[in-house]
Amino acid sequence: MHAIHHWKSAALAAFLSLSLALAACGGDDSGDEPSSGADETPTAASSGGESCRPAPYLISLRAAKGDTVAVDDVQFEVVAAKAVSLAGGAAYTIYLADYEIPDDQISSFSAPKPGANQTLVTVFITVFNGPANPPAIKAGEEIAFTPDFGVLTFRVVTQKGSETYSAYSAARGKVTLSDVGDSVCGEITYEDSATSGFSSIQNRLEGAFGAVVVKKY
């Protein structure tokens, strides 16, 4: 990424880069959180709050890597749904899991780590290489998947145990947000493929979701 000079954008970029890296390696084992130039203390927490779509609920999920299929187009039961709001609501990281997620596993520089036979789906909603002061996301926004920088988009990463399943050579979909703030809710349709013609679907997430925002940065 190019350098982003405003502290909010720098912190946001650092968080997303690290979060994607943590997802790829199955979490942070060190327990140490790297420091950024931004204030890493959450401005608010609503751990005991109510979601606009309370868990448990079902969402359609597929997770695969080549011929290895971890989750095969099932109605995935979301037991815990929690989120982090970043840069004053300009980005959200949403965690959907089939197990209880402790709040202390979620911070500006750490992410939940699923155990053996546990599944965690992470949805990142953000602007990569964004402006100095990204605007807050509003309810009603429709967000398309794109690999482009500088526009609001999203990414989906699924982890089952220590394995990670994420985008291949092509991906498509959209997120439509109905609520943001103390909780984030909406509808998502997403799929990625090992081929540009979408003849070999690898990962898919589809349905209504909701998560309580437990940390705000």
* Strand ranges, E, within the chain: 57-65, 68-78, 80-86, 91-97, 119-127, 142-144, 152-160, 163-165, 170-179, 183-193, 201-216
Q: For 129-161, b where at least 16 C-beta lie within 10 A, e where not — what string?
A: ebeeebeebeeeeebebeeeeeebbbbbbbbbe
Q: pLDDT above 90 covers what percent of the chain?
A: 64
Confidence class for position 27, pLDDT limits 50, 70, 90: very low
Q: Judge whether 1 lies within some domain.
A: no
Amino acid identity of residue 9, one-letter, is: S
Q: Is 17 a residue whose pLDDT tops 60?
A: no
Interval 166-173 mean pLDDT: 84
Confidence class for position 6, pLDDT limits 50, 70, 90: very low
Asked if 114 and 160 count as a contact pair (C-beta separation under 8 A), the reply is yes
pLDDT recorded at residue 196 = 82
- Number of folded domains that form the chain: 1
pLDDT recorded at residue 42 = 57
Q: Judge whether 37 lies within some domain.
A: no
Question: Tens of pLDDT along 90-116?
Answer: 999 999 999 999 999 998 788 999 999
Distance CA 83, CA 122 (A): 9
The predicted model scores a pTM of 0.81
What range defines the domain where residue 203 resides? 7-28+42-216
Q: What are phi and psi of 131, to 5 degrees?
A: -70, 170
Q: Which residue has the tokens 């979701």?
A: 209
Interval 42-68 mean pLDDT: 80
Q: Judge whether 34 lies within some domain.
A: no
Distance CA 217, CA 85 (A): 6
Q: Judge whether 35 lies within some domain.
A: no
pLDDT recorded at residue 174 = 98
Q: Is 2 a residue whose pLDDT tops 60?
A: no
Q: Judge whether 97 lies within some domain.
A: yes
18 sits in which H/E element:
helix 7-25
